A and B are shown apart, each in its own frame.
Chain A
Amino acid sequence: QQQVKQSPQSLIVQKGGISIINCAYENTAFDYFPWYQQFPGKGPALLIAIRPDVSEKKEGRFTISFNKSAKQFSLHIMDSQPGDSATYFCAASGSRGGADGLTFGKGTHLIIQP
Chain B
Amino acid sequence: DTGVSQDPRHKITKRGQNVTFRCDPISEHNRLYWYRQTLGQGPEFLTYFQNEAQLEKSRLLSDRFSAERPKGSFSTLEIQRTEQGDSAMYLCASSLMGMNTEAFFGQGTRLTVV
Contacts and interface: CB of A to CB of B under 8 A. Distances in A.
A45 interface: yes
Given A104-B44, A107-B40, A107-B42, A43 B95 contact: no
B108 interface: yes
Interface in A86-108: 89, 91, 96-107
B108 A99 contact: no
Interface stretch (B62-70, B72-80, B98-106): B98-106
A12 interface: no
Given A43-B91, A49-B102, A101 B45 contact: yes
Interface in B1-27: 4, 6
Say what secondary structure dominates the interface of chain A: loop
A2 to B, nearest CB: 10
Nearest to B42: A104
A6 B42 CA distance: 10
A97 B101 CA distance: 8
A97 B107 contact: no
Contact of B103 (A89, A96, A102, A103): A102
Given A43-B91, A43-B108, A44-B91, A99 B103 contact: yes
Contacts, number: 69
Contacts of A46: 102-105
Contact of B97 (A6, A98, A103): A98
Of A42, A91, A98, the most chain B CB neighbours within 10 A belong to A98
Contacts of A96: 99
Nearest to A44: B105
A98 B42 contact: no
A43 B93 CA distance: 9
B41 A107 contact: yes
Interface string B31-52: 1010100001111110010000
22 contacts: A36-B105, A42-B107, A43-B91, A43-B93, A43-B105, A44-B43, A44-B91, A97-B99, A99-B31, A99-B33, A99-B93, A99-B101, A100-B33, A100-B56, A102-B35, A102-B45, A104-B42, A104-B44, A105-B42, A106-B41, A106-B42, A107-B42
